[in-house]
Amino acid sequence: MNNVIYSPSCTPKNDIGNTFSATKLENLQPSKLAAMKGYLFCPGCFVQAGFVSRGKNGSSPHFRSIHKLVNGKACPEKSNEVERIDGDKPRPVDELRNDENIFVIDFNFGTTDREVKPNKPIDTDDIPPRLRGNYRKFGESGSVGKSEWSRRLSTMLRAVFDNPDFLKEANKIKVFGKLQTMSEVFFHASRVVNTLNHNRPPAFYYGTIVDAIDEGKTVWLNIGHSKDELSIPIDKKIFQVLMKRYAISPAVKGQFRDIVGCQFLLYGWYNTSKKKQHYLSLYEKASAYIALRLS
């Protein structure tokens, strides 16, 4: 995608004439470009987009986005690139429903190549402690005849982004035995800082990654660029698991280009640092608590 709408108010439909090409953004001062990155949208389907700078091999700058259908057809701005997904094929929201509209997130899926057996902890960095031993007692694995269906985090990510009404419906979600209404525990990352208090109970947060920076022991997934916007710090060992799962290419000059413009859903905490920087952290240090959707 070569052009985007720049909408500081995050209302791209009202800023249709305020368009920028990738080459125009490339020539801006770095500080100006950084300030604009979180407010770029596809001019066809108005989904948030990410800017990909010129490649080391000479590839031109461009934009990436997870496009929506427009009047039942593919977004006219969508490129011919094949969308890479994590192998969890999306299912229509109607198929995900059950009689009581209760969803149970299967955090145990995809955390390790080895089976996580009930009441038998496995010593590995990528199995959350909460899932060791007591995993089955909360019914996190769905079964026939129950009114609670187990769903992968990645499946929920697609439902949240592909159906704007999904979180407005009377759906409920159960996490570690606690039942809550989805609309009360799902929050769009771009609205968190201005609407929520930090140090709150864990919840689900979703949004679009503007860029991903490798800082040695930590990879920072940035949703914005100022201290008033969110970032997600991921332990490097955990991020290496995500790289394998989503076939993410190694960093180039400290940046993971594949993640630019990708969507995410995580379960975790919203906090602020001593320097008043806002960030989201995984519920525990394990890849099970975040799902990505790459373009």
Q: What is the pLDDT of residues 148-198, one digit of tens each?
A: 667 788 888 988 888 877 887 677 888 887 888 888 899 998 888 878 887
Per the model's pLDDT, the better-predicted residue between 240 and 273 turns out to be 240
- pLDDT bucket at 83, cuts 50 / 70 / 90: very low
Q: Per-domain residue ranges for the chain?
A: 3-74, 186-293
Residues 70, 29: Cα–Cα separation, whole Å: 34
Give the range among 3-17, 22-36, 199-213 with minimum mean pLDDT: 22-36
pLDDT of residue 180: 87
Q: Please give the single-letter amino acid code of residue 255.
A: Q
Contact 60, 26 (CB under 8 A): no
pLDDT of residue 118: 35
pLDDT of residue 148: 60
pLDDT of residue 126: 56
Average pLDDT over residues 220-234: 82
Evaluate if residue 265 carries a pLDDT over 90.
yes
CATH number of 186-293: 2.40.50.140
Phi-psi region of 13 (alpha: psi -120 to 50; beta: other; left: phi over 0): alpha
Give the range among 162-176, 229-243, 275-289 with minimum mean pLDDT: 162-176
Per the model's pLDDT, the better-predicted residue between 217 and 98 turns out to be 217
pLDDT of residue 128: 56
Evaluate if residue 139 carries a pLDDT over 90.
no
Mean pLDDT across the chain, nearest whole number? 77
> What is the sign, positive or negative, of the torsion defined by CA atoms of 280, 286, 290, 293?
positive
